[in-house]
């Protein structure tokens, strides 16, 4: 949530940010509500002062032996006016609180302005696109031939957008998850978290998924005697949601920061839509696994921490020997909650496209305000909102796709990246290992 003071002090900056992110916000109405909210507060304060004065008038008239009924009637009228003003205040605050949640975070000054993903900027790259002396196959052909990927049965048991990994395919994904977690915890000092995979609406609102992206999320419900009832429960779209909200409504001491957590979870998203090559195979699915890195830091260090976060995600790709590029997102392609974001895209030679496997974002204090996560800079200082960041480290199954397509051999086997061999217990998938 943006700082409400910005609406009063610099509304045009907020309006420009909304336009830059191509967000749908009734901003004029929001400004009207902010003005009316302050007017009603002043009105109630003035009415209460007048009622206190009228109440004193009752006592003065009684002491003077005069009829107090006129003063009593004035108190009653003022009470009715106060009740009406308080009712309006509740309505204004409710509408304001709902509308302010639709305002996106402001892009950082270093975020390029743009109107679509075409305006994103490639700022770094690593590795060379692999070449083959045979026609490279896409992962769905490789996986089916090796008996490690079953798209048909995934669709049969769950519907479109689901898949099954078998044997060495399941072991490969598990090996990646274990290796990612080991690197983050043992080398980078993250604390591993295994959170619930179901969260409530307050938690989804805290990180910015609600209300904007409700249609893209899976809500949990059940059958009752009255029929289907939706519960206050949602399947998580990413580990960012439960891990960031671990500290909702808490005040931490400055000495505790930075806090660095990582965690594996499945991720559930209703959106799977795109056209062209990305529809094939397991590139866009409704359920996938991901290891997430989440940071809680003091504002002064958050952009330094963003660069470190990005470097940690890049290191995984380099150690896997996968060709990748770093893209800084423009304002229009930036997520609702992010102020600045880097996407790491890996090259999939069988498909001939770049695939995003990590997004590293700084949310500044946007999520902290929504989730009420604060820290106390000093013993006698007022609590402040901290900055939160997160980055995929890394997302599956696209990392699996890149490995299968990059390390495929002419005989149909796939070499296992060296860093994964201790976890896999083999050097290749298919053939003699």
Please list, in sequence order, all residues whose beta carbon lies within 8 angstroms of the beta carbon of residue 109, skipping any fewer than 6 positions away. Answer: none
Please give the Cα distance from 298 to 362 (Å, whole number): 12
- What's the DSSP call for residue 316? H
Cα separations in angstroms, 46 against 77, 78, 293: 14, 10, 51
**At CA 216, angle to CA 350 and CA 174, rounded to 5?**
50
Nearest to 2 by CA among 366, 389, 408, 413: 366
What are the catalytic residues? 269, 284, 356, 359, 398
User: Both tokens of residue 205?
Assistant: 């609102």
**At CA 330, angle to CA 329 and CA 334, rounded to 5?**
65
Please give the Cα distance from 282 to 351 (Å, whole number): 12
| 130: exposed, middle or buried (Cβ count in 10 Å: 0-12, 13-18, 19+) | middle
Q: What's the residue count for the chain?
A: 433
Q: Pinpoint the alpha helices (H) of 147-230.
A: 151-158, 168-182, 201-206
Q: Pinpoint the alpha helices (H) of 64-200.
A: 69-100, 139-146, 151-158, 168-182
Nearest to 175 by CA among 291, 284, 322, 268: 291
**At CA 109, angle to CA 104 and CA 115, rounded to 5?**
60
User: Both tokens of residue 401?
Assistant: 């796709």
User: Both tokens of residue 383?
Assistant: 């609590």
Cα separations in angstroms, 349 against 127, 137, 151, 252, 353: 13, 8, 20, 47, 7
Q: Is the peptide bond before 211 cis (omega within 30 degrees of 0)?
A: yes
User: Both tokens of residue 277?
Assistant: 């090559």
Please give the Cα distance from 74 to 181 (Å, whole number): 70
């Amino acid at each position: 949530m943006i700082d409400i003071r910005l609406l009063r002090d610099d509304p045009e900056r907020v309006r420009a940010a909304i336009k830059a992110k191509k967000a749908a916000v009734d901003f004029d109405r929001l400004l009207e509500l902010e003005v009316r909210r302050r007017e009603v507060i002043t009105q109630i304060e003035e009415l209460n002062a007048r009622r206190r004065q009228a109440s004193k008038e009752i006592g003065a008239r009684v002491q003077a032996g005069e009829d107090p009924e006129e003063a009593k009637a004035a108190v009653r009228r003022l009470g009715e006016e106060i009740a009406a003003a308080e009712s309006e205040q509740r309505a204004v605050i409710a509408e304001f609180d709902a509308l302010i949640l639709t305002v996106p975070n402001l892009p950082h000054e270093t975020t390029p302005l743009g109107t679509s993903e075409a305006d994103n900027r490639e700022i770094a790259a690593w590795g060379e696109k692999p070449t083959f002396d045979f026609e490279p196959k896409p992962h769905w052909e490789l996986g089916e031939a090796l008996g490690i990927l079953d798209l048909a049965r995934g669709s049969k048991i769950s519907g479109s957008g689901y898949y099954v990994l078998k044997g060495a395919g399941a072991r490969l994904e598990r090996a990646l998850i274990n290796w990612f977690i080991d690197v983050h915890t043992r080398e980078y000092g993250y604390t591993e978290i295994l959170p619930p995979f179901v969260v409530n609406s307050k938690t989804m609102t805290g990180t910015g998924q609600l209300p904007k992206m409700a249609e893209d999320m899976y809500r949990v419900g059940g059958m009752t005697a009255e029929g289907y009832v939706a519960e206050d429960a949602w399947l998580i779209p990413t580990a960012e949601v439960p891990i960031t909200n671990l500290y909702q409504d808490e005040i931490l001491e400055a000495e505790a920061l930075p806090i660095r957590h990582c965690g594996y979870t499945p991720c559930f998203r209703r959106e799977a839509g795109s056209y062209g090559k990305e529809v094939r195979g397991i590139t866009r699915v409704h359920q996938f696994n991901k290891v997430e890195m989440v940071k809680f830091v003091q504002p002064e260090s958050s952009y330094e921490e963003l660069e470190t976060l990005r470097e940690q995600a890049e290191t995984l790709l380099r150690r896997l020997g996968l060709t990748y590029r770093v893209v800084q997102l423009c304002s229009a392609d930036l997520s609702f909650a992010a102020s600045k974001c880097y996407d790491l895209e890996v090259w999939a030679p069988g498909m001939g496209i770049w695939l995003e496997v990590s997004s590293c974002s700084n949310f500044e204090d946007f999520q902290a305000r929504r989730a009420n996560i604060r820290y106390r800079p000093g013993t006698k200082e007022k609590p402040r909102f901290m900055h939160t960041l997160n980055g995929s480290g890394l997302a599956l199954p696209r990392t699996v796709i890149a490995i299968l397509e990059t390390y495929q051999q002419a005989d149909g086997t796939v070499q296992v990246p060296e860093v994964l061999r201790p976890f896999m217990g083999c050097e290749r998938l298919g053939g003699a290992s």
